[in-house]
């Protein structure tokens, strides 16, 4: 039987870190596996609308309050011809898609994705192909989406039924270009050159857009750090962000390391920021390059069997998430909040089926995976001002990361309310957390949410075993919050403050 340990937190309004960018709560839709076909799009499904979009999936997506969704890739984009996905559907080519070895029918493309985003209440974030293509195709796509009228591609958009420009603000300059798996992989110097020139041309078409340069593909890449420095030395004047990508998995039965992946994310963010600031120093610049963590998720060993190559719809990488996975994902979101001064965009990958927040059955149900819930709650209540939080916690010894704090937390201040997001990383011991919040004038805890179920519980179409539950475990007395947290748990506590009544649910 485990023991109880004590941890102390403190936060004060004078130690504000940054306003939290709503774009931290973005997601990602790639033409991979069943994310698009039988995911967001399934003509003939009982819930399908007039465009073939699954309205059951749309309803679940809207529950996430997604501000931004990245598209169309991912590795897919490095071989994609965007022109294949516009115009009459019966004339669109079928292509052998090399990244994921499936047949791409191109029944969903730029215009359809714009329509889906409007239905989902999200803004699009588009990636351009800097693998097999380059400057001309990228500038033409900006012209197609953003130029008002009177040019070849703006008039083509109008001819396709969309006379008004879409005004796409956020663009990714390729995807994971240092990865050996990438179509047309590039060296840092090769990528920096094409990214610099493409960025210039895209902004000549539309000077209002913001651009994300590719960072190295993962924290463990040999190129990490040197790649960012090389790319930003060339592209510093032309981009606003550099990307970070990470998928965090459990190795064997190492629960302690897995529950601490938020610390792994923090170390990665800090390394990327160091590279950004190095580039700023050598350029004698004033602009701070921000981080777009535009692919992230937790992974596990429970997978739906993959289907054969060269199918129109392939099942690949469909994780069935547990309660433990949801706790780990909540820890990554806490890391983003703790680095809200530099992480301005984050995109969970991916929205549906493939490592999805949402799962679907073709022709049948859609449901929330376990990881949906900490994401949805953080997206809803983690908006406002991030407050630096001091933590005094016993250490947890992990195989991958060494010693880490057993308790991690982020604090968010909004009108009349303070919200704490907490994780107990210890897989075997309960924690008693005391948080000194006197500077905010806390009145009372107005909600304390944890996740139901056992560590290995999963959700499916028939039963939601893991869901948010009000525990009533948080108490506020004389400005101090006390909260008991079970082993391997995530919690969100909302507190009414002296500024006034908290917002209604």
Identical fold between 4-15+386-496 and 31-381: no
Tell me the three state secondary structure of residue 402. strand
Rg (CA), the chain: 23
pLDDT value of residue 471: 94
SS3 content of the chain, % helix, strand, coil (to 5): 30, 30, 40
Signed CA dihedral, 91, 96, 99, 105: sign only = positive
Please say whether the structural domain 31-381 has been given the CATH code 3.20.20.80.
yes
Mean pLDDT across the stretch 428-434? Answer: 98
- How, if at all, do strands 102-104 and 95-97 pair? antiparallel
Indicate the pLDDT class of residue 505, thresholds 50, 70 and 90: low
| pLDDT of 2 over the 70 cut | yes
| pLDDT of 304 over the 90 cut | no
Indicate the pLDDT class of residue 503, thresholds 50, 70 and 90: low
- Cβ within 8 Å of residue 183, ≥6 positions away: 75, 78, 79, 98, 99, 131, 132
Mean pLDDT across the stretch 481-489? Answer: 98
pLDDT value of residue 285: 95
| pLDDT of 500 over the 70 cut | no
Mean pLDDT across the stretch 464-477? Answer: 96
pLDDT tens digit string along 199-222?
A: 999 999 999 999 999 999 999 999
Q: What is the CATH number of domain 4-15+386-496?
A: 2.60.40.1180
Indicate the pLDDT class of residue 302, thresholds 50, 70 and 90: confident
pLDDT value of residue 464: 98
Nearest of 148, 144, 222, 158 to residue 187 by alpha carbon: 222
Indicate the pLDDT class of residue 300, thresholds 50, 70 and 90: confident
Indicate the pLDDT class of residue 301, thresholds 50, 70 and 90: confident
Indicate the pLDDT class of residue 77, thresholds 50, 70 and 90: very high
d(CA 41, CA 449): 33
Q: Taking the CB of residue 94, how many other CB atoms lie within 10 A of it?
A: 12
Percent of the chain with pLDDT over 70: 99
d(CA 33, CA 43): 17
**Alpha carbon separation from 7 to 53, 262, 390, 403, 483 (Å, rounded):** 47, 18, 11, 15, 10
Mean pLDDT across the stretch 120-134? Answer: 98
Indicate the pLDDT class of residue 501, thresholds 50, 70 and 90: low
Mean pLDDT across the stretch 69-81? Answer: 98
Domain ranges of the chain: 4-15+386-496, 31-381
d(CA 50, CA 146): 25
- Cβ within 8 Å of residue 353, ≥6 positions away: 33, 34, 35, 38, 39, 315, 318, 359, 360
d(CA 473, CA 475): 7
For 244, half-sphere exposure in the C-beta direction (CA atoms, 13 angstrom radius) is 33
| pLDDT of 43 over the 70 cut | yes
pLDDT tens digit string along 254-268?
A: 999 999 999 999 999
pTM of the model: 0.97
DSSP E strands: which ranges in 401-502?
A: 402-405, 407-414, 417-424, 430-436, 444-451, 468-470, 475-477, 480-485, 489-496
| pLDDT of 504 over the 70 cut | no
| pLDDT of 502 over the 60 cut | no
Q: Taking the CB of residue 399, how many other CB atoms lie within 10 A of it?
A: 11
Annotation marks residue 324 as catalytic: no
d(CA 157, CA 150): 11
| pLDDT of 170 over the 90 cut | yes
**Which residue is catalytic, options 104, 176, 228, 318?**
176
pLDDT value of residue 70: 98
| pLDDT of 288 over the 80 cut | yes
Nearest of 154, 153, 196 to residue 173 by alpha carbon: 196
Indicate the pLDDT class of residue 364, thresholds 50, 70 and 90: very high
| pLDDT of 5 over the 90 cut | yes
d(CA 443, CA 500): 10
- Range 343-361 burial, b when 16+ CB lie within 10 A, else e: bbbbbbbbbbbbbbbbbbe
Indicate the pLDDT class of residue 306, thresholds 50, 70 and 90: confident
pLDDT value of residue 308: 87
Annotation marks residue 434 as catalytic: no
d(CA 366, CA 56): 6
**Which residue is catalytic, options 112, 295, 318, 417?**
295
Tell me the three state secondary structure of residue 13. strand
Mean confidence (pLDDT) of the chain: 96
């Amino acid at each position: 039987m485990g023991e109880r340990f004590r941890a102390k937190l403190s936060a004060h309004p004078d130690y504000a870190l940054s306003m939290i960018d709503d774009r931290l709560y973005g997601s990602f839709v790639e033409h991979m596996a069943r994310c698009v076909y039988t995911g967001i799009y399934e003509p003939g499904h009982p819930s399908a609308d007039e465009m073939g979009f699954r309205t059951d999936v749309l309803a679940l997506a809207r529950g996430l309050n997604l501000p931004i969704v990245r598209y169309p890739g991912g590795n897919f984009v490095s071989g994609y011809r965007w022109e294949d996905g516009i115009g009459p559907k019966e004339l669109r080519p079928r292509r052998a898609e090399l990244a994921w070895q499936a047949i791409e029918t191109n029944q969903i493309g730029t215009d359809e994705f714009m329509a889906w985003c409007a239905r989902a209440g999200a803004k699009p974030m588009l990636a351009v192909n800097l693998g097999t293509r380059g400057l001309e195709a990228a500038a033409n796509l900006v012209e197609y989406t953003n130029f008002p009228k009177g040019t070849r591609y703006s008039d083509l958009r109008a001819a396709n039924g969309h006379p008004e420009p879409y005004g796409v603000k956020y663009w990714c300059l390729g995807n994971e270009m240092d990865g050996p798996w990438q179509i047309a992989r590039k060296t840092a110097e090769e990528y920096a050159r094409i990214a610099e020139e493409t960025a210039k041309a895209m902004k000549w078409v539309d000077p209002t857009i913001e651009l994300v340069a590719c960072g190295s593909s993962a924290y463990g890449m040999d190129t990490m750090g040197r790649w960012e420095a090389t790319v930003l030395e060339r592209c510093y004047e032309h981009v606003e962000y550099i990307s970070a990508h990470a998928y965090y998995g459990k190795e064997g039965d190492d629960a302690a390391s897995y529950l601490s992946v938020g610390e792994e994310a923090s170390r990665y963010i800090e390394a990327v920021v160091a590279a950004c600031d190095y580039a700023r120093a050598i350029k004698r610049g004033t602009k701070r390059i921000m981080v777009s963590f535009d692919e992230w998720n937790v992974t596990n060993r429970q997978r739906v069997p993959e289907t054969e190559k060269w199918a129109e719809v392939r099942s690949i990488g469909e994780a069935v998430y547990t309660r433990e996975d949801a706790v780990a994902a909540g820890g990554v979101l806490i890391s983003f909040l703790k680095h809200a001064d530099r992480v301005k965009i984050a995109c969970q990958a991916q929205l549906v089926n493939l490592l999805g927040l949402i799962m679907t059955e073709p022709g049948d149900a859609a449901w929330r995976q376990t990881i949906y819930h900490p994401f949805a709650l953080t997206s809803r209540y983690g908006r406002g001002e991030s407050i630096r939080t001091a933590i005094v916690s016993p250490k947890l010894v992990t195989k991958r990361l060494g010693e880490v704090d057993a308790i991690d937390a982020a604090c968010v201040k909004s009108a009349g309310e303070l919200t704490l997001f907490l994780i107990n990383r210890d897989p075997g011991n309960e924690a008693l957390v005391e948080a000194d919040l006197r500077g905010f004038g806390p009145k009372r805890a107005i909600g304390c949410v944890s996740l139901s179920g056992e560590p290995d519980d999963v959700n499916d179409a028939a039963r939601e075993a893991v869901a948010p539950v009000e525990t009533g475990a948080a108490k506020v007395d004389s400005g101090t919050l006390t909260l008991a947290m079970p082993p391997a748990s995530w919690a969100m506590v909302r507190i009414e403050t002296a500024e006034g009544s908290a917002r209604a649910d």
